[in-house]
Amino acid sequence: MNKKLLSSILLSGALLAACGDDSDVAKTDANNNADAEKVVIGTGSQFINICFYDEDGNLTGYDIELLKEIDQRLPQYEFDFEVMDFSNLLLSLETEKIDLIAHNMAKNPEREEKFLFNKQPYNAVPTHVVVNEKNTDIHSIDDLNGKTVGLAPTSNAALFVEDYVAKNNLDTELTYITSTPDMLNQLKTDRIQAIFQFPFSVEIFNRESDAQLKLVGEPLIFSEIFFMLNKQDEKLAADIDEILEELIEDGTVKELSEKWLGADFSVEL
Amino acid sequence: MSSFFDIGYVFDAIPKLLNYLHITIEILLLSIFFGLILGIIIAVPRLYKIPVLKEIATLYISFIRGTPILIQLFLVFYGLPLLVGMFGINITRMDAFIFVIITYTLSNAAAFAEIFRAAIQSIDYGQAEAAQSIGMTGWQTFSRIVFPQALRIAFPNIASTSISSLKDTSLAFSIGVMDMMGRGDTLITATMNALEVYVALAIIYYVIVLLLEYGYKFIERYLNRYLVKEAL
């Protein structure tokens, strides 16, 4: 019996040793400059084609690939990606756990007061009301009276909808859902009647997962998308802006945009 | 994709999820190991009724029991760097994995402390007196008479606490430590096969728990080796 106990202890030790300390931070090996300043990029994993893990477990998407391209052209920096829940990103930037947020972020006054946005937008997308394709009674945001809608907490669309509902005295129930698949599922099963999305995401959801979505009404907000940084990192923001302009000029952004977003959004920039 | 449930994808997903099993196991083993050590330390002031320390330990245990582990995780992840920062040490950029281990250690320690306290108190005081009467020192009494019996009583509770903490490790992904559950979430985002991935996860978790239970049974039998067979 002693032997059995011993072997089970040894086994668990071996298991631990086998685990090693392979840090889960995805490193871009774009440049091996030893003096390069480390920049921690905070991003999420729930935004298909913007920042998500593909089926093989690689972090990718429009925001990720664009940043890797930028990293390659900025030898003085080395980008590391940290993935966390979307709702933790802003607090993590504030507490300087990360240096930059890449998560399809749009400007709003609250965010601008606290943080720095780079100057050159890298994406431009309209947010629409999105309903199930069988839905016939919702044609615009004003038809949401008496309905339940799903919002991603702390997202720009959520702030807009909260504000709109309050100003127009709509009797709309707001539910907060962090996982996109969950949100789509709730819409499909009519637990919620509307969500707020970009046309390119709707296209992807319909194609990839039979989400049965349709856009209704005019765009609610037309968002230019930026990276978010801390106020003191103006140098980094300026360096990124310079490369972004270069990438828009030489067609790299167009290429990435067509690949991940299904259309060239660089013309809007 | 049109079918509601694709049983084939469950089996496609299992190997992909198993690639991240070691993170889950690592979190579990490390937090139980450090939790046991800290748990014993926290149990001592309450057992020996050490003033002040006893009150601190009681407060600590009631706080950990009374707050959700997700909040404890955020308090450690964002709050601890502030606290340590006051002494001029910057741990803001420390690997998120370490914050996860700290949180689960603190949480397990509170549970283990109560288990130890109850187990040690359950040993009849007459035994300690008997040990003293044959000239054993305080430490000898504890390490040779009280502790081996207490461990036997505490073990089933420790085992069941550790099984339930296996299922808590999934929260680590919210601060960026990708364990098996986190990989499941990202797999769902990539493929939208939510139900299939959850079924695959359920199968894996259940098999691990069965293995753990099997292992615990052996350890328990070992700890009970001096009991008279009929009493079992």
Determine contact: A133 vs chain B, CB below 8 A.
no
CA distance B26 to chain A (A): 6
Give the helix ranges, DSSP H, for chain A. 2-19, 62-73, 86-94, 109-114, 156-167, 180-188, 199-209, 234-249, 252-261
How far is Cα A173 from Cα B204, in angstroms, rounded to an integer?
37
Residue A236 predicted with pLDDT over 90: yes
Encoded amino acid at A210, one letter: D
pLDDT at residue B188, rounded to an integer: 87
Both A84 and A199 in a single domain?
no
User: Cβ separation of B186 and A53 shorter than 8 Å?
Assistant: yes
Specify the residue for token string 């392979």.
A22
Residue A18 lies in a domain: no
Which one of A24, A47, A54 has the shortest CB-CB distance to B97?
A: A24
pLDDT at residue A29, rounded to an integer: 45
Tell me which chain B residues have a C-beta less than 8 angstroms from the C-beta of A26. none
Question: Which of A58, A209, A212, A213 would best serve as a mutation to test chain B binding (most B beta carbons within 10 A)?
Answer: A209
* Position with higher pLDDT, A174 vs B88: A174
Query: What's the pTM?
Result: 0.76
Question: Which of B189, B197, B212 would best serve as a mutation to test chain A binding (most A beta carbons within 10 A)?
Answer: B189
Query: Considering its fold, how many domains does chain A have in total?
Result: 2
Torsion over CA of B192, B196, B200 and B203, rounded to 10 degrees? 150
Contacts of range A15-19, beta carbons closer than 8 Å, 24 or more positions apart: A15/B22, A15/B25, A15/B29, A16/B26, A16/B29, A16/B30, A18/B22, A19/B22, A19/B23, A19/B25, A19/B26
Both A105 and A88 in a single domain?
yes
Q: Which CA distances in Å does A229 have to A89, A139, A236, B81?
A: 11, 37, 9, 20
Both A180 and A243 in a single domain?
no
Which one of A24, A91, A209 has the shortest CB-CB distance to B192?
A: A209
Residue A203 predicted with pLDDT over 60: yes
User: Beta strand pairing status for A46-47 and A100-106?
Assistant: unpaired
Specify the residue for token string 């002040």.
B52
User: Cβ separation of B174 and A19 shorter than 8 Å?
Assistant: no
Both A208 and A86 in a single domain?
no
CA distance A149 to chain B (A): 21
Determine contact: A15 vs chain B, CB below 8 A.
yes
Tell me which chain A residues have a C-beta less than 8 angstroms from the C-beta of B189. 45-48, 52-53, 180-181
Query: What pLDDT, in 10s, does the model give residues A43-98?
Result: 999 888 899 999 888 999 999 999 999 999 999 999 999 999 888 999 999 999 99
Average pLDDT, chain A: 85
Contacts of range A3-9, beta carbons closer than 8 Å, 24 or more positions apart: A4/B218, A4/B222, A5/B218, A5/B219, A5/B222, A8/B215, A8/B218, A8/B219
Both A201 and A79 in a single domain?
no
Which H/E stretch holds residue B37?
helix B21-47
Residue B56 predicted with pLDDT over 90: yes
Backbone angles phi, psi at B163, to 5 degrees: -65, -40
Q: What percent of chain A has pLDDT over 70?
A: 86
**Number of helices (H), then strands (E), in chain B:** 11, 0
Which residues touch A198 (CB under 8 Å, ≥6 apart)? A125, A126, A127, A128
Determine contact: A201 vs chain B, CB below 8 A.
no
B227 token code pair: 């009991």
Both A46 and A170 in a single domain?
no
Is residue B184 within 8 Å of residue B198, measured between CB atoms?
A: yes
Which one of B74, B188, B218 has the shortest CB-CB distance to A4?
A: B218
Both A131 and A213 in a single domain?
yes
Both A230 and A108 in a single domain?
yes
Both A132 and A120 in a single domain?
no
Which one of B1, B19, B93 has the shortest CB-CB distance to A40?
A: B93
Q: Which has the closest alpha carbon to A256: A126, A74, A61?
A: A61
Which one of B19, B25, B219 has the shortest CB-CB distance to A5?
A: B219
Determine contact: A84 vs chain B, CB below 8 A.
yes
Residue A197 lies in a domain: yes
User: Cβ separation of B190 and A54 shorter than 8 Å?
Assistant: yes
pLDDT at residue A262, rounded to an integer: 78
Mean pLDDT of B55-80: 94
Both A33 and A93 in a single domain?
yes
Through-space distance between the first and last CA atoms of chain A, rounded to whole angstroms: 72
A215 token code pair: 């856009």
Q: What CATH number is associated with residue A61?
A: 3.40.190.10
For residue A174, what are the domain limits?
A: 125-223
Residue A13 lies in a domain: no
Which one of B176, B188, B215 has the shortest CB-CB distance to A82?
A: B176
Is residue B204 within 8 Å of residue B14, measured between CB atoms?
A: yes
How far is Cα A149 from Cα A176, in angstroms, rounded to an integer?
8
Question: In 3-state terms, chain B is what percent helix, strand and coil (to 5)?
Answer: 80, 0, 20
Query: What pLDDT, in 10s, does the model give residues B147-177?
Result: 889 999 999 999 999 888 887 888 888 888 9
Specify the residue for token string 């910057």.
B90
Residue A198 lies in a domain: yes
CA distance B92 to chain A (A): 6
Both A144 and A166 in a single domain?
yes
* Position with higher pLDDT, B92 vs A176: A176
Residue A201 lies in a domain: yes
Q: Which of A208, A223, A238 delimits the end of a domain?
A: A223
DSSP designation for A188: H
Q: What residues of B are in the A interface, CB distance below 8 Å?
A: 1-2, 16, 19, 22-23, 25-26, 29-30, 74, 78, 81-82, 92-93, 95-97, 173-178, 182-183, 185-192, 194, 215, 218-219, 221-222, 225
Which residues touch A169 (CB under 8 Å, ≥6 apart)? none
What ranges make up the beta strands (E) of chain B? none
pLDDT at residue A33, rounded to an integer: 58
User: Cβ separation of A5 and B2 shorter than 8 Å?
Assistant: no
Both A188 and A211 in a single domain?
yes
pLDDT-derived band of residue A269, with 50, 70 and 90 as boundaries? low
Which H/E stretch holds residue B46?
helix B21-47
Q: What is the ipTM of this complex?
A: 0.75
